Structure 1
Amino acid sequence: MRFNPGTSWALLPVAAILAALPAHGDDDDGAGGPPRWSVGAIGLYYDTPFAAEDNEFQAVPYVAYRGDRFFIDATALGYHLIKPDEEAGLSFGLDVIAAARMLPGESRNKVTADMGLRASIGGGMGRLDLVALQDVTDTHNGTELSASYEYDFQITDKFTLSPSVGVTWQSRKLANHMWGITQKQQDRMIEKDKPVLPLYALSGSVVNYQGGLTTVYSLSDSWTLIGFAQGAYLDKDIRDHPGIDKNYELTLGFGLAYNF
């Protein structure tokens, strides 16, 4: 699964999807609100910045859950320490989150895990997220800090359009894990007959800039169509990589979700 892997916020846009789901009426226990579960399949197209690699397309399943405190967002899960008041004009939220991190491209298959905090401020002018993540697998011990802003345009009762922008800082250790190529990795590429990427090491931290667009269309109370595009403009030290011939990475997706 290659879904803007160079950025922490590059997960399936579940927040926008769940926010756009139709509300149920009161059930037997008096609890109303939108569906808690969303399951489905999404086709992903990843435009790799590595010259030796082919762009990828694959279909992947996903599961999302929104509970009172606990939530699952595709490749991440978390717990609301402070739940935002959705009825307030301006609300604050604080979450503990854990997220899987995949390497960009097809030549290196390595999945690690990060843990950290996400603070959010939301209201009529959109939502601002601030995220701090740290590697917890002792693989690279890198750190990532990010800020993103998203606004939901309710075009019709059924159609929501959500543009977003963001910036991400990655420490030198994380940047080398994501974009550097070691001799051991290169030997493994040769052994497994994968595209061979040139050796490269980054000397410092990097800053990437992101932009995205998510569309959600409700076919019914239970079925939702999802479309999105997410891209990142890569830091100069990443673009100086001899194996990279693009200054960006891009992911497009389209899928169908069942909500209950």
Structure 2
Amino acid sequence: MKFLWPVLLSGLSFGAAAQSPDADEDSPGGPPQGWQLGVAAAVFASPYAGEGSRVMPIPLVSYEGERFWFRGISAGWTVLDLGGIELAAVAKLRFDGFDVKDLGRRELARNGIDYRKLDDRAEAVDVGVAMQWRGSAGEIEAEILTDATDKSGGQEFQIQYGYPFELGQGTLTPQVGLTWQSKDMANYYYGTLPKEVARGVIDYKPGAVTIGHVGVSYFRPLGEKWSMMADVKYSRLPDEIKKSPLIEPGKNGTVGVFVGFSRAF
């Protein structure tokens, strides 16, 4: 479940919501006001040893107000709106990491890891600033986040460029982006912890990492209230992560697929 939430969030991105037929006429391109409820299915291939892929149904819940918004597991307050540029204070749950019981014991053993000496990697709450720019050349989304719960004590910077265009009765948006994680964050999620090393686990710390991704999202209205959204995303793992003893051997990247239907109220 931890690996499916990022896919869900990308499916509920501002760019998809902006195409809703119920968007506020006084702010063209803006998200629809009020609640949206729906259901979705997501598939994601975990990079962790023995975790494998999962297919799960997911409820979709989002709310858009004049300034406050809530989308899945993220919330924000728009502090600046200049039409094509928006700036918001944001908070979101981070479901990276793993429960040791979900990992493969044999796969970890082949990496030289005794699963009994590992600790879970906990969920966290990130806070920070998000920015979006929209224009005729496409759209750029960026976030600067820090771990407010001090699970990893690290920071993350994300930036993504997309170019939406009409396809049939919907909107298709190819995307490319980068995610940078500080050494504290990357060491926590992809390295071994000091207390694990004290138990005899391999000492591995990847340091700061940059993860690139490409993807495509699709949004289509279905009548006046319903809409369909889909998202496919491939993330390329850098060598620092691929060399981790926590990662599935030979794993070069991860693929996530999301398809959902929602209704505006």
- Deviations, residues 120-160 of structure 1 (Å, cap 9, x unaligned): 2211111112211000002121011121111211224x311
What does residue 107 of structure 2 align with?
A: none
Q: 1:13–1:3: structure 2 CA closer, same or farther, 3 Å change rule?
A: farther
User: Are the structure 2 counterparts of residues 69 and 135 from structure 1 closer, same or farther at C-alpha, using a change threshold of 3 Å?
Assistant: same
Counterpart amino acid of 1:96? Answer: A
- Whether the 8 Å CA contact 2:152–2:184 is kept in 1: the answer is yes
Q: Secondary structure at the match of 1:202?
A: coil
1:76-128 Cα offsets, whole Å, 9 max, x none, are: 0001010141xxxxx22111011111124544462111000112221111111
Distance 1:151 1:13, change over 3 A: farther
Counterpart secondary structure, 1:139: coil
Instruction: Give secondary structure in 1 for the equivalent of 2:160.
Output: strand
2:58 is aligned with 1:53: no
The answer on 1:202 being equivalent to 2:201 is: no
CA contact (8 A) 1:117 1:132 kept: yes
Give the deviation of 1:258 after TM superposition: 0.9
For 1:150, the equivalent position in structure 2 comes to: 162
Aligned mates of 1:4, 1:200 — CA distance in 2 = 28
Higher mean displacement: 15-24 or 60-69: 15-24
Partner residue in 2 for 1:257: 262
Partner of 2:133: 121
Corresponding residue SS for 1:178: helix
Counterpart of 1:177 in 2: which secondary structure? Answer: helix
Alignment of 1:189-228 (within 5 A): 199=202, 201-228=204-231
Shift of 1:13: 3.1
Q: Distance in 2 between matches of 1:24 and 1:146?
A: 26
| 1:238 aligned partner | 241
The one-letter code sitting in structure 2 at the alignment partner of 1:17 is A
Other-structure match for 1:176: 187
Is this contact kept in 2: 1:99–1:113, CA < 8 A? yes
Alignment identity in percent? Answer: 25
**Structure-1-length-normalised TM-score:** 0.81
Q: Is the 8 A contact 2:37 2:61 kept in 1?
A: yes
How far the C-alpha of 1:24 sits from its partner, in A, is 6.6
Structure 1 spans left out of the alignment, 5+ residues: 27-31, 86-90, 187-197
Aligned pair count? 237
> Aligned pair in 2 of structure 1 residues 2, 140: CA closer, same or farther (>3 Å)?
closer
Q: Deviations over 1:211-258 (max 9, x none)?
A: 121111211111112211122111210011133231111111111111
Contact 1:4/1:250 (8 A) holds in 2: no
TM-score by length of 2: 0.80
Q: Which residue does 1:93 correspond to in 2?
A: 86
Which amino acid in structure 2 is aligned with residue 211 of structure 1?
A: V
In the aligned structure 2, how far is the partner of 1:40 from the partner of 1:110? 28
Q: Check conservation: 2:46, 2:53, Cα contact below 8 A.
A: yes
User: Structure 2: 5+ residue runs without aligned partners?
Assistant: 104-119
Distance 1:202 1:24, change over 3 A: closer
Quick check: 1:36 aligned with 2:39? no
Q: 1:181 to 1:80 in 2, by over 3 A?
A: same
| Contact 1:160–1:216, Cα closer than 8 Å, also in 2 | yes
The alignment's C-alpha RMSD in Å is 2.8
Query: 2:9·2:73 contact (CA, 8 Å) conserved in 1?
Result: no
Contact 1:200 1:241 in 2 (8 A): no
Contact 2:44-2:55 at 8 Å conserved across structures: yes
**Residue 17 (structure 1) aligns with:** 16
